[in-house]
Structure formats: structure tokens, C-alpha cells
Amino acid sequence: MQWVPEIGFCGSRDGTRLAMGSYGAGARTVLLATLHISDHLGAPSIGSCHWLELLAPNARIIRYDARGCGLSAGEGVGPLNLQTCVEDIEAVVDAAGVAGPLVLVSLSHGILPVIAFAALHPDRVERIVVLAGYARGRLRRNGGPELDRESQAIIETMQVAYGADLTYSAPFRRVLLSRLLPRANEEQITELDRASIKRMTSSVAGQYTRFTFNSDVSDLARRIACPALVIHANDDPVVPFSEGSHLAALIPGARLLPLEGCLHLPLEGDPEWPRISGAIRSFLEIPSPPASARLTVDGARSSAPRLTPRQREVLQLVGRGHTDKEIARAMGLSHRTVEMHVRHCLEALGCRSRAEGVRVALQRGLLDGPADS
């Protein structure tokens, strides 16, 4: 699927140029905040397409490139702090012509300006969804000298990983991405790296990392007056679960949804994605789409589910009676990656068993031919 947004530009209070994209045309407005590491507004990648599929059928989705990043890059980056980041959200929301309260959905570090905006503008926010968020940056958690040294090393790594393409830039980026998306396979990491490599200079990368590490929005979180859903994995490799639960405890009446396993940001085929998307649908009162209905670029429904070529190949081998280990060896994948592809196929087809999934895929012409015995 390729999402084609309406892309426009606006100016923040200090004159910094911001690029923004609008997807979907529902009655509600959702601001999807990801802060600095993201993909192109005009060509969403595997890191964001499933979020658009989840929200765009029932809402207008607003995304923007943070100051100094992507299409918002330019000479006039201006100062980078919590105040300017909140002013950027204000400018984007105003430019988008949002009439009533909106929903804020924040992923990872995008939580910082979201919390501040919601606290300072309670009349403009309907609900908040937080995934892998926190109130206290790494250097504000009193984690001791070892955590502080590691944090400083991460800041230095970010400055090497982005900007100039030096000898160790690509390996550093891939390590960072593998932490953000610990269940991504090699192919997915490559795609995400290609989308993120030129989004910011080394200077901007260092500024954002220092900003997130030194921020603390605890007092602002206590002032939030709207319903909030906080989702966090027990073994999050980037933000400890204790920080997610701490944030949920700060926000009055917030609901906390713990997730199993090692997860920070989920991809569409992640085993926990159905649970995440289901919880968000319930919280935002979004109707569940039919299993066979997916969105096309123009928002129309399609009767055929979307399976990638790799997923079709995996399902074809399942139909031929191969085990996951055999498929993994044949395709050069990990056992976990094969399981992920199978889970996604069954979810997309609305099937409970592998045999049913193969049969339905054949009936809908999604596989090359009849499965051999």
C-alpha cells in the first residue's frame, strides 16, 4: 500500500518552517507524534503504514516533521527545547484548521511535547494514546554514573550515525534501529534505515538526543485532564517498563496496558500488534473493520487482504506442509520471523488456523497455485 498525503508547510512562533502531512478524511482528527526518527511524510514506510491503516478509516491523521528533520530541515531550525516543540504542535494544529478537540497518539520520544501540549491546552485534547513513552528522560532518572556514561555515549553515537556517511555510520544506525524495533528482520531494518538516513544532520541528531535525555514532564503529566491509554512492553529495550508505569501513575485516571516480551515500537506483523490495535480501537471507540477489508490509497475498501510477496511465499510453503523451521532454512530467515509472517497472514485473512489460511488465500487468488501435498 502506498499512502499519498496532502503535504503543506507552516511556520512556528519563532519562524521555523515545519512540514506537515494529512491522511484520511474522517470526522475526528488524530495527531500522530513520532518526533525525530521517522520516515518520509510523502512515502510512509513499514514503520508507519499500519498506524495509518488503523486510524485513517475513521479520522483525519496529521503528521509533521519535527524542526530540523525531513522536509522541515532548513537554515532556520531555531532553539530546540520543550517550549519550541509545543509551539510547533500548536502551529501544526492551527494550520490544519482543527476545529474541535483532537486525539494525540505518541510513539516513544514523541510523548514529551504531547504531554506538555495536553497539559497546557486541555480544551484542545480529547484523548491521549501513549506507546513506549515516559515522563523522565534517561539523565533525569537518577540511574547512577553508569547510566549517565551510557547516555553520553548514545548522544555521541547519534551524531556519528546521522549526517555525514562515515565508516561506522551505517552500523551505528542499524544498532539504534534494532533497539527501537527489536523484532524487525534484516530486510525491514534495511528499509527503515534507508528511510531515516538523511532525515537530520549530526548536529540536529545530537540536539534531539540531549533534549529527550534531559527532559522531565512529570509535573505537566499530573495536569492532564483527558482520558489516557498508556501501552508499554514489560521488556522494552529502550524505555524501561517502570518508566511507562510511572507515567501512567502520574496522569490522573490513566489506563495502563502491559505488553509481553521485548518490544519498543511494533511493526504490522508483530505478535503484539493485534492486541495494541485492538486496545486503541476500544479506547478511541473505533469500529473494527471486516477481516477482508483493507484500505487502498484513496481510502476505498478492497475485498482482497494485503499480503507482501514474502508473506505469500511463506504461506505457500505452509500449504505444502513445511514446518516453520524448514521454511526458515529455505528462505534464510529466523524461526521467529517466519512465525511473524504466518501470524500476519492469518490476521489479514481473518483465519484462526494455518490450514484455513491457506484455503482462503487460494480461494482469493493470493497464492501462485494449489498447494502441493
Considering the domain boundaries, does residue 356 fall inside one? yes
Question: Quick one: which H or E segment has residue 231?
Answer: strand 228-233
Model confidence at 289, pLDDT cuts 50, 70, 90, reads low
325 and 274 share one domain: no
Radius of gyration of the chain (CA): 21
Q: What is the mean pLDDT of the chain?
A: 87
131 and 256 share one domain: yes
pLDDT tens string 314-349: 999 998 889 998 998 898 888 878 888 888 888 888
Mean pLDDT along residues 109-131: 97
pLDDT, position 196: 81
Residue 59 sits in a domain whose CATH number is: 3.40.50.1820
pLDDT, position 303: 45
pLDDT, position 333: 83
Residue 311 sits in a domain whose CATH number is: 1.10.10.10
264 and 339 share one domain: no
Among the ranges given (42-46, 218-222, 228-232), the one the predictor scored with the smallest mean pLDDT: 42-46
233 and 341 share one domain: no
User: Is 103 a residue whose pLDDT tops 60?
Assistant: yes
C-alpha distance from residue 361 to each of 307, 315, 344, 371 (Å):
10, 8, 13, 10
Cα 50 from Cα 343, distance rounded (Å): 15
Considering the domain boundaries, does residue 152 fall inside one? no
> 191 burial class (0-12, 13-18, 19+ CB within 10 angstroms)?
middle
Model confidence at 53, pLDDT cuts 50, 70, 90, reads confident
In the chain, which ranges are continuous DSSP H helix?
49-55, 82-95, 111-120, 145-161, 169-180, 186-196, 202-214, 218-221, 241-250, 273-284, 309-319, 324-331, 335-349, 354-363
Considering the domain boundaries, does residue 157 fall inside one? no
Considering the domain boundaries, does residue 198 fall inside one? no
pLDDT, position 368: 64
pLDDT tens string 358-368: 888 887 778 86
Considering the domain boundaries, does residue 171 fall inside one? no
94 and 222 share one domain: yes
Our separate counts of H helices and E strands in the chain read 14, 10
pLDDT, position 298: 38
pLDDT tens string 237-246: 999 999 999 9
State which of 253, 284, 315 marks the end of a domain. Answer: 284
353 and 223 share one domain: no
State which of 251, 284, 317 marks the end of a domain. Answer: 284
Cα 280 from Cα 139, distance rounded (Å): 30
Considering the domain boundaries, does residue 124 fall inside one? yes
53 and 93 share one domain: yes
Structural domain count, the chain: 2
Residues whose CB falls within 8 Å of the CB of residue 274, separated by 6 or more in sequence, listed in order: 347
Considering the domain boundaries, does residue 37 fall inside one? yes
User: Is 36 a residue whose pLDDT tops 70?
Assistant: no
pLDDT tens string 252-280: 999 999 999 999 999 888 889 999 999 99
Q: Which three cell numbers stand for residue 237?
A: 529495550
Considering the domain boundaries, does residue 175 fall inside one? no
pLDDT tens string 63-84: 999 999 989 977 667 788 999 9
DSSP 176-190: HHHHHSTT--HHHHH
220 and 352 share one domain: no
User: Is 3 a residue whose pLDDT tops 70?
Assistant: no
Q: Which three cell numbers stand for residue 92?
A: 501544526
pLDDT, position 108: 93
Which domain does 43 fall in, by range? 6-145+212-284
37 and 103 share one domain: yes
220 and 133 share one domain: yes
Residue 97 half-sphere exposure toward CB, CA atoms < 13 A: 5
48 and 130 share one domain: yes
34 and 119 share one domain: yes
